[in-house]
Chain A
């Protein structure tokens, strides 16, 4: 560390909780000499390395790709590797993500999220099985444009922390899972819309969303789940009326051009 580097003392108020020792979560304060280019994760790593080895937290890539270092930073859900300390005050509160059970310190339980994600079957359902000899599925740049932004999701779960509906309704499928379901519904190679419909159009999915828009605001990859959910609502409404007006199309319905939002 050269002397020319700008160092600022920042006080970090970190939530601590060890279920084996603590009766309830509490805050612990650490004074950290932060460099100008540091992000929150650097400061937490400093605490772990230099001040308190018992601190538990998740991280991996340090470049907003793995999506594992999401935290509440001064009350806002953010990736700790994507939040510069120089843009923050001298006192920073670091907590585990809202709306998830706390396992230990800054580590949260994500099983519920993974189950919700699996519920929407977020993978390509081909119309018919293809062998390797049949070659790959082709897709034009224009077809890719329909859903490309939705593919950027890194499952960081920040949108679940930000969403008031997730907080109020534990069964709510949530923003990322619905955005991912919509991503596959829009994919020209996919035919699984009918398979996902039972979950997506149920009363624990798109219709629970009241379009607060907090999910899209906190998304570090600009996925815009709020937009995806509103488009899914329009598509589901169309499906509902279509099933009345044209009941013969109900079976063998795929992801035709007309169904794209």
Chain B
């Protein structure tokens, strides 16, 4: 009935501790590849880097603006021509960053109203609506301001 498979430990590695006990070792740099559900989490973490790059671009742009219209227009040209695809990638990551964090807001901020918990979807929807309204206002300012 039973079959002994001495020495076979499948894909999972074990590590012997100093006290003699065995414990599974975890791949320090690739654990997130073990399960597909870790991928959205890692993308969310990775998106922070692109948010950082976007902030650097903004500071760079503000500095160029302070140098006058000609310099600022040159900077805009660089963004449109040389860094166009990088900007598209940054936009997608910043979008995913905002989306993924708004999706987890009910966990971080459980809100009560008249003694009862507000459902999570209401909190998410409120954030999403605020996000869309703010985006429209900024886009309108950009279009009509220009």
**Residues in chain A within 8 A of chain B (CB atoms):** 17, 19, 24-31, 51-52, 93, 95, 98-103, 109, 141-142, 145-146, 164, 167-168, 210-214, 216-217, 224, 226-227, 230-231, 233-234, 261
Q: Give which listed residue, B3, B28, B37, B38, contacts A28 with CB less than 8 A.
A: B3
Known contacts A25-B9, A28-B3, A101-B17, A230 near B23 by CB under 8 Å:
no
Tell me if B1 and A30 are in contact (CB < 8 A): yes
Query: Hey, which chain B residues are within 8 Å of A216, CB to CB?
Result: 107
* Interface range for B: 35 or more
Q: Give which listed residue, B3, B14, B19, B41, contacts A212 with CB less than 8 A.
A: B41
Query: Hey, which chain B residues are within 8 Å of A211, CB to CB?
Result: 41, 104
- Cα A184 to Cα B104 with chains together (Å): 23
Tell me if B41 and A99 are in contact (CB < 8 A): no
Q: Give which listed residue, B8, B24, B110, contacts A26 with CB less than 8 A.
A: B8
Task: Mark B109-134 against chain A: 1 for CB-CB distance below 8 A, else 0.
Answer: 11010011100000000000000000
Q: How far is the CB of A113 from chain B (nearest CB, A)?
A: 13
Tell me if A227 and B22 are in contact (CB < 8 A): no
- Cα A142 to Cα B6 with chains together (Å): 57
Any A CB within 8 A of the CB of B69? no
Task: Mark B22-49 against chain A: 1 for CB-CB distance below 8 A, else 0.
Answer: 1110101001100001100100010000
Q: Can you offer 11 A-B residue contacts whose CB atoms are under 8 A?
A: A24-B14, A26-B4, A26-B9, A27-B8, A99-B23, A101-B21, A102-B22, A145-B115, A213-B41, A216-B107, A231-B110
